[in-house]
Structure 1
Amino acid sequence: MPEKQTRFHMANEERPCLCNIGDRFDYRGLGQEVQVEHIRAYICKPSSSTDKAVIVIQDIFGWQLPNTRYIADMLAANGYIAICPDYFVGQEPWKPSDDWSIFNDWLKTRDASRVDREADAVLKYLKQQCGAKKVGVIGFCWGGMAVHHLMLKNPELKTGVSVHGVIKYFEDRYSLLHPTFFIFGESDEYIPIEQVTIMEQKLKQHCKVDYNVKIYPGHTHGFVHRKREDMNPKDKPFIEEARKDIINWLNKYI
Structure 2
Amino acid sequence: MANEARPCLCDIGDRFDYGGRGQEVQVEHIKAYVCKPAASTDKAVIVIHDIFGWQLPNTRYMADMLATNGYISKELKLVCTEGIFQVLLIQLFRLIKDSDDISSLLNPTFFIFAEKDDLIPLRQITLLEQKLKKNCKVDYEVKIYPGQTHGFVHRRREDINPQDKPYVEEGRKDMINWLNKYI
The bucket for the TM-score relative to the shorter chain is 0.7 to 0.9
Answer yes or no: is the 8 Å Cα contact 1:67–1:225 preserved in 2.
Answer: yes
- Please list, as runs of the form range in 1=range in 2, the aligned pairs for 1:82-231 lying within 5 A after superposition: 82-88=73-79, 91=81, 110-113=85-88, 142=89, 148=92, 167-168=96-97, 171-175=99-103, 176-231=105-160
Q: Which amino acid aligns with 1:111?
A: Q
**Where does residue 252 of structure 1 map in the other structure?**
181
**Where does residue 46 of structure 2 map in the other structure?**
55
Q: Which amino acid aligns with 2:79?
A: F
**Where does residue 121 of structure 1 map in the other structure?**
none
Q: Which amino acid aligns with 2:77?
A: D
**Where does residue 103 of structure 1 map in the other structure?**
none
**CA offsets, 1:141-198, max 9 Å, x none?**
x4xx66x5xxxxxxxxxxxxxxx99833x62231211000001000011111000000
Once residues 166 and 209 of structure 1 are traced to their aligned partners in structure 2, the CA distance between those partners, rounded to angstroms, is 15
Give the C-alpha shift of residue 244 in structure 1: 0.3
Once residues 26 and 102 of structure 2 are traced to their aligned partners in structure 1, the CA distance between those partners, rounded to angstroms, is 33
Give the C-alpha shift of residue 209 in structure 1: 0.3
**Where does residue 24 of structure 1 map in the other structure?**
15
Once residues 176 and 145 of structure 2 are traced to their aligned partners in structure 1, the CA distance between those partners, rounded to angstroms, is 16
State TM-score, norm by structure 2: 0.88
Q: Which has the larger helix fraction?
A: 2
Answer yes or no: is the 8 Å Cα contact 1:50–1:79 preserved in 2.
Answer: yes
Q: Which amino acid aligns with 1:209?
A: V
Give the C-alpha shift of residue 247 in structure 1: 0.3
2:56 to 53, 60, 65: 65
Give the C-alpha shift of residue 109 in structure 1: 8.3
Once residues 27 and 172 of structure 1 are traced to their aligned partners in structure 2, the CA distance between those partners, rounded to angstroms, is 41
- Does the residue aligned with 2:143 lie in a helix, a strand or coil? strand
Give the C-alpha shift of residue 252 in structure 1: 0.2
- Does the residue aligned with 2:61 lie in a helix, a strand or coil? helix
**CA offsets, 1:19-61, max 9 Å, x none?**
2264234211111011134311000000110010111001111
Q: Where does the alignment leave 5 or more consecutive residues of structure 2 unmatched?
A: none
- Does the residue aligned with 2:9 lie in a helix, a strand or coil? coil
Q: How many residues align?
A: 181
RMSD: 2.7
**CA offsets, 1:97-137, max 9 Å, x none?**
xxxxxxxxxxx785224xxxxxxxxxxxxxxxxxxxxxxxx
Q: Which amino acid aligns with 1:60?
A: I
Answer yes or no: is the 8 Å Cα contact 2:16–2:157 preserved in 1.
Answer: no
Task: Point out the more displaced range, 204-213 or 12-21.
Answer: 12-21
Give the C-alpha shift of residue 12 in structure 1: 7.8
Q: In structure 2, do the counterparts of structure 1 residues 42 and 49 end up closer, same or farther at CA, with 3 Å as the change threshold?
A: same
